[in-house]
A and B are shown apart, each in its own frame.
Chain A
Amino acid sequence: MRNPQLGPGGELQHLLTLEGLPPEVIGRILDTAVPFVSIAERDVKKVPLLRGKTVFNLFFENSTRTRTTFEIAAKRLSADVINLNIGVSSTTKGETLLDTIDNLVAMNADMFVVRHSQSGAPHLIAQHLSTTGRGGIHVINAGDGRHGHPTQGLLDLFTIRHYKQEFHALTVAIVGDVLHSRVARSLIQGLTTLGTPEVRVVGPQTLLPTAVERMGVRVFHDMRAGLAGCDVVVMLRLQSERMKGALLPSAGEYFKHYGLTAEKLRLAKPDAIVMHPGPMNRGVEIDSAVADGKHSVILPQVTFGIAVRMAVMSILAGSQVPA
């Protein structure tokens, strides 16, 4: 089966998932992002790579942070950006997802950044564009259901590479609600693709999906064992609604078993970094002392996220060399 995000020559047409993406393609995105980090430090933060292009941020599910970083990324590339919170407009009036897409295509969109509560929605949009002869329009998955969040995965990889240089000797622990986490899936796929020898997932059985070890990870239920000797600790956000469905008894008990404290972090390597995709629940999955501590790279993640999204957009638009 052909990876639906690659063109006939293997070039990146859409960014839908990190699964099946060749390591060279991931490496090229990360390399392209490096100079974009420094652009943000200039007085004039704009480059003209997407001048004249129109990027639609289609958010069928609310997310201020991800939408904002995509918006900043597109604007720094000089694109025109249109933000649409579709959760509160068309679909509530009965318009189907693909009707919405057709309407926006008629407004001459060049790129769709899609956030949707259903796994696979960006694939559906990409497939629809290609079967209706508009394969030149690019789709970026900004998070779909539990399936994937590839730009988050890429910014996590960028952050790890920034602090650890190489992947081939790393131990990475991903802690928390892996079951519902698109961030975890994308990061696991990215890390295994780049040859990370040990990727661990840590959590109770209720929050780990069936057969997750088949994704190439080691499963730990005991957080202390899972953190032992780690170079990177990635904490996942725990949604408050998880307390309602018999997955967990309480936030307090969760924090006791799976919350990251300075004491537990001492089990990891002395130079371990701590990451979190945000927004954080302080005192639920992470202690404030750790979130704000010297191991934390949570704020640099946000900065790198803009550079990585600029890299993805410019590569998709076919003009990746920064001025």
Chain B
Amino acid sequence: MKIEIHNGRLIDPAHGIDRRTSLYVAAGKVASIDEPPAGWHPNRVIDASKLVVCPGLIDASARLREPGFEYKATLESEMQAAIAGGVTSLACPPDTDPPLDEPGLVEMLKHRARSLNQAHVYPIGALTVGLKSETITEMGELSEAGCIAFSHADAPLADTQILLRALQYAATFGYRVWLRPQDAHLAHGGVAHDGEVATRLGLPAIPSCAETIALDTIFELVRATGVRVHLARLSTYEGVERVRAAKRAGLPVTCDVAAHHVHLCDIDIGWFNAHCRLVPPLRGTRDRTALRQGLADGTIDLICSDHTPVDEDGKQLPFAEAEPGATGLELLLPLTLKWAQEERLALPIAIARITSDPARVLGLAAGQLAPGADADVCVFDPEARWTVDPASLRSQGKNTPFLGLELSGKVRHTLVGGQIVYEA
């Protein structure tokens, strides 16, 4: 299958490319850009003259809900959502049921994903068995089975000794560890940011220091062990400041933010909107500003969807009892574009945060379009406007605080391994 993506605005941040040109795809790879390969006879020409052509998106956190939560979503439904959102690679956290703590589960997930022949799935293994923070997992076996990193997802890891041991063990073999910085004791029972909104609504709160204390602990343990740590879902102003200082001091840390935290704050909870029940909680406007700036200046390496499909029953509960999370695979691109537009940033910076930057953090060769690279491509119309509503989402989860919002940016074609897997 030879595909010519003709005359689009090609943006490949990994190679500093942003120009109007054509991309030639053959045998599953990028064959060339600018000039067609010798004797070029395409099977298909995509007219991209009004479109942007970029590497397929890499979502650093998407819950596919398998195994264990198939009533909330299935691999089939969520892979459809991924490619509809232009996402061609995604990392999934280990908080499935059972958690991804043994190689058989990881192999099964990879096998199921491969057989669907859509986006590439990169499991993140559990750091401790059952995410119970008692025993460390067989990281070597899990790594061989396909885990690209180890994490504790949103499960509490209060015991610092266990954390130190897990980081020491991971450092021994050079594994990457992903941690969501949150002090388990300070966060206990909390469902909203400790501020004016939680006070007004009478919601149990999580203070900002739950994040900063955890960050300080993690930084000390990184210094002690040399492990490479990725900090997942930063949420506070103070947290961004701490990560900025740690990076300046040369610590081997990276970090991310979820797309909803870039756009929303605790005020959006309104009158107990359960769609705003998120982990970590939406924080104040000052925090949101810091996250947006941190993302712009590179303190925050990437933006992820933190895709978490929840069935309707899980959200039809009083705020504190509602299941946390939001669907997001199909919103990652438009929400990233919206951030860049509002911050007056060039399009390639936005694209970098969802392609080349996550590729670097995840250690993937994807996220770029050099000749010879796997042809994972996203072709989108940056001007097309659409309204987020349940019918417009392919994900089984319709739970998003952005329902009713009009967004710019619609995926027209998604290619995985040189095959067109999605068109609209």
Interface of A toward B, CB cutoff 8 Å: 1, 4, 19, 96-98, 116, 118-121, 123-124, 128, 144-148, 182, 185, 209-212, 214-215
Contact of A123 (CB < 8 Å), options: B199, B203, B272: B272
Residues of chain B within 8 A of A116, CB atoms compared:
318
B194 & A120 in contact (Cβ 8 Å cutoff): no
> Looking at A97, A120, A185, A210, which has the most chain B CB atoms within 10 Å of its CB?
A120
B317 & A96 in contact (Cβ 8 Å cutoff): yes
| Docked complex Cα distance between A118 and B201 (Å) | 11
| Docked complex Cα distance between A170 and B199 (Å) | 24
> Given A120-B272, A214-B196, does the pair A185, B202 have CB atoms closer than 8 Å?
yes
Q: Which residues between 155 and 201 of chain B lie within 8 Å of chain A, taking CB atoms?
A: 194-196, 198-201
A121 & B318 in contact (Cβ 8 Å cutoff): yes
B317 & A147 in contact (Cβ 8 Å cutoff): no
**Does B313 lie at the interface of the complex (its beta carbon under 8 Å from any beta carbon of A)?**
yes
A211 & B195 in contact (Cβ 8 Å cutoff): yes
A212 & B271 in contact (Cβ 8 Å cutoff): no
| Docked complex Cα distance between A23 and B205 (Å) | 30
A214 & B199 in contact (Cβ 8 Å cutoff): yes
Residues of chain A within 8 A of B313, CB atoms compared:
96
B156 to chain A, nearest CB (A): 18
| Docked complex Cα distance between A212 and B196 (Å) | 7
Residues of chain A within 8 A of B271, CB atoms compared:
1, 4, 120, 123
**Does B319 lie at the interface of the complex (its beta carbon under 8 Å from any beta carbon of A)?**
yes
By Cβ-Cβ distance, the 6 closest A-B pairs, closest first, are A146-B202, A120-B272, A147-B202, A118-B318, A209-B199, A119-B202
A141 to chain B, nearest CB (A): 12
Q: Which residue of A lies closest to B270 (CB)?
A: A1
| Docked complex Cα distance between A128 and B317 (Å) | 10
A211 & B199 in contact (Cβ 8 Å cutoff): yes
| Docked complex Cα distance between A119 and B199 (Å) | 11
> Given A4-B271, A119-B272, A215-B200, does the pair A128, B316 have CB atoms closer than 8 Å?
yes
B272 & A97 in contact (Cβ 8 Å cutoff): no
| Docked complex Cα distance between A128 and B315 (Å) | 12
B404 to chain A, nearest CB (A): 13
Residues of chain A within 8 A of B316, CB atoms compared:
96, 98, 124, 128
B318 & A124 in contact (Cβ 8 Å cutoff): yes
| Docked complex Cα distance between A121 and B272 (Å) | 9
> Given A4-B271, A128-B316, does the pair A182, B195 have CB atoms closer than 8 Å?
no
Residues of chain B within 8 A of A98, CB atoms compared:
316
**Does B207 lie at the interface of the complex (its beta carbon under 8 Å from any beta carbon of A)?**
yes
Residues of chain A within 8 A of B203, CB atoms compared:
119-120, 145-147
A145 & B196 in contact (Cβ 8 Å cutoff): no
A172 to chain B, nearest CB (A): 18
A185 & B200 in contact (Cβ 8 Å cutoff): yes
Residues of chain B within 8 A of A4, CB atoms compared:
271
| Docked complex Cα distance between A195 and B230 (Å) | 51
**Does B320 lie at the interface of the complex (its beta carbon under 8 Å from any beta carbon of A)?**
yes
Residues of chain B within 8 A of A209, CB atoms compared:
198-199, 205
Residues of chain B within 8 A of A182, CB atoms compared:
202
| Docked complex Cα distance between A298 and B202 (Å) | 25
**Does B321 lie at the interface of the complex (its beta carbon under 8 Å from any beta carbon of A)?**
yes
Residues of chain A within 8 A of B272, CB atoms compared:
119-120, 123-124
27 pairs of residues in contact across A and B, judged by CB atoms under 8 Å: A1-B271, A4-B271, A96-B313, A96-B316, A97-B317, A118-B318, A118-B320, A118-B321, A119-B203, A119-B319, A120-B320, A124-B272, A124-B316, A128-B316, A146-B204, A147-B201, A147-B202, A148-B202, A185-B200, A210-B195, A210-B196, A211-B195, A211-B196, A214-B196, A214-B199, A214-B200, A215-B200
Residues of chain A within 8 A of B194, CB atoms compared:
210
B257 to chain A, nearest CB (A): 23
Contact of B201 (CB < 8 Å), options: A1, A120, A211: A120
Residues of chain B within 8 A of A124, CB atoms compared:
272, 274, 316-318
Q: Which residues between 266 and 316 of chain B lie within 8 Å of chain A, taking CB atoms?
A: 270-272, 274, 313, 316
15 more contacts with CB within 8 A, not counting A145-B318, A210-B207, A212-B199, are A19-B200, A97-B318, A116-B318, A118-B321, A119-B201, A120-B319, A124-B274, A124-B316, A145-B202, A147-B201, A147-B203, A185-B200, A210-B194, A210-B196, A210-B205
Residues of chain B within 8 A of A211, CB atoms compared:
195-196, 199
Residues of chain A within 8 A of B201, CB atoms compared:
119-120, 147
| Docked complex Cα distance between A211 and B199 (Å) | 7
| Docked complex Cα distance between A75 and B290 (Å) | 56
Q: Which residue of A lies closest to B207 (CB)?
A: A210
A120 & B200 in contact (Cβ 8 Å cutoff): no
